[in-house]
Amino acid sequence: EAQVTQNPRYLITVTGKKLTVTCSQNMNHEYMSWYRQDPGLGLRQIYYSMNVEVTDKGDVPEGYKVSRKEKRNFPLILESPSPNQTSLYFCASIHISGDPSYEQYFGPGTRLTVT
Amino acid sequence: GQNIDQPTEMTATEGAIVQINCTYQTSGFNGLFWYQQHAGEAPTFLSYNVLDGLEEKGRFSSFLSRSKGYSYLLLKELQMKDSASYLCAVRVSSGNTPLVFGKGTRLSVIA
């Protein structure tokens, strides 16, 4: 089954305690990205990766890091989380070569609360 | 620049028909997607249009006019479970982000 997985699904943490949210896809997609979603603001892209070892900033990258050492994995790292990073996070992947009708797949989401 | 506009909120009655509009101005166009997102859950794919016209899929239909930069999602025989956000997204042919999303339309279905 084609899917994007994320872990953990829910996380409550304290300010300054480093955390990693994992993301993995099984569709051999080149492009992966991380979004955060806050009420009234829609999906905002944090970071994206066009292929292995190629990552770049999205619209709201401050306070986040990513890596893409393997094609299937794209972890999101918060080195020193702050309360304004409390949000719902989605990992997503999509083919960028070939048929443009291929949909973008989303992970189930990670609800992060930073106190 | 990339710009996608859709209404923020809509309310409709169970059993009725509702039309959610989306207008876009993007650099390049390779098709338009509609996604459904229930609160707290991931967006799920509903439809894809790349040619002008109407695509029907059960109770849901999606229309595209490329010359007008316009699409709509039509939901018939509304059910309470259709209460969700509906996201319009354009597949662009240039730039670093292949899919540009609108902010979504929150639809409330009332009895």
pLDDT in tens, A48-105: 999 999 999 999 999 999 999 999 999 999 999 999 999 999 999 998 887 887 889 9
The predicted structure's pLDDT at residue A8: 98
| pLDDT at residue B94 greater than cutoff 80 | no
The reported pLDDT for the residue numbered B80 is 97
Backbone angles phi, psi at A114, to 5 degrees: -115, 120
Please answer whether residues A111 and A60 qualify as being in contact, where contact means their C-beta atoms are separated by less than 8 angstroms: no
Burial B32-59 (b: 16+ CB within 10 A, else e): bbbbbbeeeebbeebbbbeeeeeeeeee
Verify whether the Cβ–Cβ distance B91 to A48 is below 8 Å: no
Q: Do B42 and A106 touch (CB under 8 A)?
A: yes
CB A35 within 8 A of CB A45: yes
Residues of chain A with C-beta less than 8 angstroms from the C-beta of B102: 42
Q: ∠ CA B19-B35-A40 to the nearest 5 degrees?
A: 80
Residue B52's pLDDT band, with cuts at 50, 70 and 90, is very high
Given a cut of 90, whether residue A40 has pLDDT beyond it is: no
pLDDT at B104 over 90: yes
- Is the preceding peptide bond at A8 cis, omega within 30 degrees of 0? yes
* All residues at 6 or more sequence positions from B81 whose CB lies less than 8 Å from its CB, including other chains: none
Q: By the CB < 8 Å criterion, does A44 face chain B? A: no
Give the mean model confidence (pLDDT) for residues B70-90. 97
The owner of tokens 């070939």 is: A98
pLDDT band at B98 (very low <50, low <70, confident <90, very high): confident
Residue B89 · residue B64 · CB < 8 Å: no
Give the closest residue to A43 by CA, choosing from B97, B31, B92, B22: B97
Taking residue B89's Cβ as centre, other Cβ atoms within 10 Å add up to 25
Q: What is the mean pLDDT of residues B12-33?
A: 95
Q: Which of A98, A95, A109 has its CA nearest to residue A21?
A: A109
CB A77 within 8 A of CB A65: yes
pLDDT digits (tens, 9 = 90+) for A93-114: 998 887 887 889 999 999 999 9
Q: Which residues contact B38 (CB under 8 A, 6 or more apart)?
A: B83, B84, B85
Q: How far is B99 from chain A (nearest CA, A)?
A: 8
Question: Residue B93: what pLDDT?
Answer: 78
Read off the amino acid at residue B78: L
pLDDT of residue A62: 97
